[in-house]
Amino acid sequence: MPTYVMLTNLTTEGRKTLKNYPGRVAEVNAEVEALGAKVVEQYITLGQYDFVTIIEAPSEEAMAKVSIEMGSRGTMTSQTLTALSAERLAEVL
């Protein structure tokens, strides 16, 4: 299944939500899965991005759906990158 890296920043509203309800992260991950994708790993980071999330989705279209749905809520902004494992790169070369 294709892998994607989602780099996320919380908006002011998103930070308030997370502070008041830390369990929201797990709920959002379940919502991502309900949209047909799978959260493989997720990290809270310091620096340019608040979260780095590794997601598997069946297609670019499915990942676009996740990205648009999550972004439409106004609690975060994101950038999504297609990821290819080093092992897979060696296979295709």
Residue 76's pLDDT band (cuts 50, 70, 90): very high
Residue-number span of the structural domain to which 47 is assigned: 3-92
If one counts the domains in the chain, the total is 1
Q: Is this model's pTM higher than 0.75 or not?
A: yes
Q: What is the pLDDT of residue 31?
A: 96
Residue 71 has a pLDDT of 94
Residue 20 belongs to a domain with what CATH number?
3.30.70.920
Share of the chain above pLDDT 70, in %: 100
Mean pLDDT of the chain: 96
Mean pLDDT of 48-76: 97
**Per-residue pLDDT reduced to its tens digit, 21-47:** 999 999 999 999 999 999 999 999 999
For Cα atoms 28, 34, 35, give the angle at the middle one, nearest 5 degrees.
95
